[in-house]
Every structure is written in structure tokens, then in C-alpha cells.
Structure 1
Amino acid sequence: MDTTTATAGGAVLVLFGGALLLWCAAEARVRRRVRRRGRPAVATVVAESDAHGELDSAPLLSFATGPAAVGSAGTYGAGAHGVLAVDACELVLTRPRGHTPLRRPPRFVPGTSVRIAYDPRRPGLAVLAPEETGPRALVADLLWTALGLGCLAAGAILLVTAG
């Protein structure tokens, strides 16, 4: 392989692998923080209003938060992130973070109740409870991490051999 091609390919693989590892670490950290410090809630899977939303593997969830912040109680109208303030609680419409299967599992049909945790400061940030994701989520996280490590290692080998 030409030295220039090996250097360019190695650099691309190192950048991709490093970015993928950073993304995996950031997502895992967000999910862990929300599960530990967030508030638990029960959400309902909502039917999609458009065909493109049905292709998303993460279900559209609706849930009510606790009492709203002072000054927003009793107001009507959708705010940022699909939050609707109504009488001292907020109705949130969001998709959970960290749900990455290729297809939506059949257990997430509209009307199904699922347990979640949400960030009280940003109610649009919600994650499924560990019992709802099962062991497949851990396997998917490990596979993404292995892909990032593999790209990083392959890129480093190309850079070392080219230099």
C-alpha cells in the first residue's frame, strides 16, 4: 500500500474510532446519570403521526412530570422539546436515549406502558429503565465499543506501518 494512502486511511480510521468511542462513553454516561439521579416515571407508547416516525427504532413516549416550575403552572401551549405545561405538571412527548436496535421491538406497541427515568431539569431527556431494555442493550453497547476500538487499532497500525 502506498505510504500516502496508508497514512490517510490510518488517520481516517483513528478519527472515526476515537469519535465513536467518545460518543459511546458520552451516551453511557448520560444514561447512567439519568437513571441514578433522574425521577422514575411510567410512560405510554404513543402512535406515530407520520410514516417516518414509525421507522425510528425508539418508541415515541408520553408521560407527565411532577409539579412544574413556578410561573409555568396553568399555562397552555407547547414549549421547547414538546413539553406542554398544564396545571402544575408537564406532559412530555419524547423518544428515549440509548435505544438502538435495528427494528422497534414488538413489545413497544401504542398504548403499552413502560418504565422510564427522566431528568427533572430537562424532561425531554428520558431513558428506559434497565428492566425495559434487557441484556440486549448491554450487548449493543459492547459491540459499538468494540467497533470503535477496532477502528482505532487498525488506524494506529496503518499509521505506524506507513511512518
Structure 2
Amino acid sequence: MPDSPEPASAERNPATAAKNSSQFVGFQIAGQKYAIPIDQIQEIVIPDQVTLTPQVAACVEGVTNLRGQIIPVVNLRLLLDLETIARDDETRMIVVNVSDRRIGLVVDSVSQVIRIPFENIQPSLDTMTVEGNHDVAGFAKLDDVLFILLDMNEMLQPQRLTRPGSAPVSSV
């Protein structure tokens, strides 16, 4: 009796891989690789003109007109307490949907859409939180690259995007 063929592995079978993994958009800030679940991303664009707005948190650059909709623009470097740099040809704005809000996130560069197997994802450690903030949802290793998985619902809470004594930032 001839040997029966071996079943296709998850790596070779796209349907199995999709069931056993999640898709993310990978990007970089200050040389570190981060990722956001693709289902929270509306689009990725080259940042356009930003109108400065008063009485917002330092990480909020202002607002921009994205095809007729005014959305807030958040510099993710500043939100993560990193030094700001000048924009260049690699700078991108990731437009995310969080609850009923649409927000643009300025990042150094966007690298790729990645599929990460569930077994490569580890939840964030309790020691990774500051003052009750849980910005880091977890970590994922893909090949030899470690991605920090960000929790957009936590990071972009309205009270985090306000200056003390000002109104929360919301998209119109």
C-alpha cells in the first residue's frame, strides 16, 4: 500500500494559517517595531497639512482634513514619550478606528502587513503598565523580529489626549 500524502502544514495552507493567526500592520518608531491589529486600521496615508488646535495634549499635532472629514492627528512618538523628529519621505499616518472615533497616528514608517501565528503572541506583563495604562497589549516574535503590539483602545482614550482643563479630542 503506498504511503498516504502528508497533510499540508499551516505554513503552506493559507486557510489554516488564517484560522491560527491574526493580521497586523507593522510600523517603526525610533527603530523599534510595533504592530496594530489590521481590523482597527482604516487606511495608511502620507501626512498632509495639519491645522494646529489649542488646548490639546502635546501629542496631538492638531487636525487634518481627510477627504472631507476632520480628524485629530496624534504623533505616536510623543504619545509614547519619545523624542520628536522631523518628518521625511518614510513618515506615514495610520488612520485608526477606535470606538466611534477616527484618529490619525503619525509614525516614522510603515513596514508591512504581517500575519502572526497565535502561538507567537504573548500577552503584556503586569510590569509593563504605568499608572494603570495598558498601552502594550503584548509581544509577538516573527522570524527574528520582536514586535510590540499596541492596544489602540487603551492608548487613544479621550482623557489621554487632553491637556488638563481642556475638552477631550474627538473626531467630527
Kindly indicate which of the two structures has a greater share of residues assigned to strand: 2
Q: TM-score, normalised by structure 2?
A: 0.30
Higher relative contact order (CA 8 A, sep 6+): 1
Bigger radius of gyration, 1 or 2? 1
Q: TM-score, normalised by structure 1?
A: 0.31
Kindly indicate which of the two structures has a greater share of residues assigned to helix: 1
